[in-house]
Amino acid sequence: MIERNPALPDHFLVLERHESFGEYARAYGDRLAEHYERHGVIVVPHVPIAFDRDFLDTLTFPPQWKKIGTINGIEQPLVVRQGQGFAFSETHPFARALGSIKAALYLQQQIFAFNAQLRHGMSVLFPRYLSLREGNITWRLTETREEGMHFDVFHAGAPLPPKGRSLHRLKIFINIDDLPREWRTSLDMPGVLKARRGRLPDELPDDMNVVADVIDKFGVLKDLPAHTLLYPAMSAVIANGETLAHEVVYGRRVVGGEFMCRKEDMLAPQRLSHDCLRAWLEAAGYAVAADAAAVAAKYAHLKGSYRRIQEERAAAADAA
């Protein structure tokens, strides 16, 4: 269910249900990549991934595991070889969490199977992205409420390294909970820069990560109009939170996949967000700062609404 706000562009591409990734690819072809590269949201009504959802529905991860994923080692072996024998890995994230070796092994088996199907599926849906590689697959089995409208920010708002500026980011979020996941979206990055001219610094750098962090710190997103989307179990949204303002209003269990490819693989490489930012800034009337690190340092003392919410919730979880 989508409640569209007439004050905003309708950036949703809602797919017809299909029973395999190949059938989606056959039906929509390059329309998927084209819509995504234009900062659109793709709504997948049914994600054809087989796993034991009844078992996962019994699990709730602790708040400090809000975004635990493959980069945290959840796919690393739970059983390791020691000399001529084998032992349960005491350093694995799941080693003590489930209270049972068999349950931990079964959980990892389900995660591994799900992730393998997701990796294959994304390659099928976006076949032109030949260099597609995984950044992280997160298993967010924790309740999230009203996280605040934001753009994705990485590494505390530090300037992006040159390699990061050359990659196109592809993100999918699959609801694996019984309850619908409520999500809100608003303007894209160029739209926000225009709409909030005068409420942001007059000079911003040609660095997506720093600009997103400054936008959050100046709190200019919370009063934007928004679309509301409720997507049920085993449906998904594919959207780039780096260029589209968004927030989770409520959700309990979701798998988030982040993938990247070289800009040369895009249908329209000239739409790579990092290459477009300077033009977006200039079109909205900003001066382009020469030193992204200096701008980041200038506003480092400020705490944006999104980061503050996350830190307060992390502190409450630690105290509990």
Residue 179 has what pLDDT?
96
Domain that includes residue 206, residue range: 25-60+71-319
Residue 314 has what pLDDT?
61
Number of domains in the chain: 1
171 lies in some domain: yes
Q: Give the CATH number, domain containing residue 227.
A: 2.60.120
164 lies in some domain: yes
CB count in 10 Å sphere of residue 261: 19
pLDDT digits 0-9 by tens, 142-194: 999 988 999 999 988 999 998 889 999 999 999 999 999 999 999 999 999 99
Residue 89 has what pLDDT?
80
- Is the confidence at residue 307, as pLDDT, over 80? no
- Is the confidence at residue 204, as pLDDT, over 90? yes
Residue 318 has what pLDDT?
61
The pLDDT mean for the chain works out to 92
Higher pLDDT, 101 or 141: 141
205 lies in some domain: yes
What angle separates helix 273-283 from helix 208-217, to the nearest 10 degrees? 50
Most confident of 24-38, 154-168, 302-316: 24-38
pLDDT digits 0-9 by tens, 17-26: 999 999 999 9
Determine what percent of the chain is predicted with pLDDT higher than 70: 95
202 lies in some domain: yes
- Is the confidence at residue 320, as pLDDT, over 60? no
Residue 246 has what pLDDT?
97
Nearest-10 Cα torsion for 269, 274, 280, 282: -120
H-type alpha helices, 172-304: 189-195, 208-217, 273-283, 292-298
- Is the confidence at residue 100, as pLDDT, over 80? no
112 lies in some domain: yes
Sign of CA dihedral 11, 13, 14, 20: negative
Most confident of 90-94, 166-170, 314-318: 166-170
User: Region 208-234: what's the mean pLDDT?
Assistant: 96
65 lies in some domain: no
13 lies in some domain: no
- Is the confidence at residue 33, as pLDDT, over 90? yes
Strands, E assignment, the chain: 2-3, 12-14, 41-44, 79-82, 85-88, 133-140, 144-145, 167-175, 181-188, 203-205, 227-231, 236-238, 244-251, 254-262, 287-289
85 lies in some domain: yes
204 in Cβ contact with 288 (< 8 Å): yes
Residue 302 has what pLDDT?
87
In the structure, what pLDDT confidence band is assigned to residue 306 with cuts at 50, 70 and 90?
A: low
Nearest to 233, CA basis, from 2, 69, 47, 13: 47
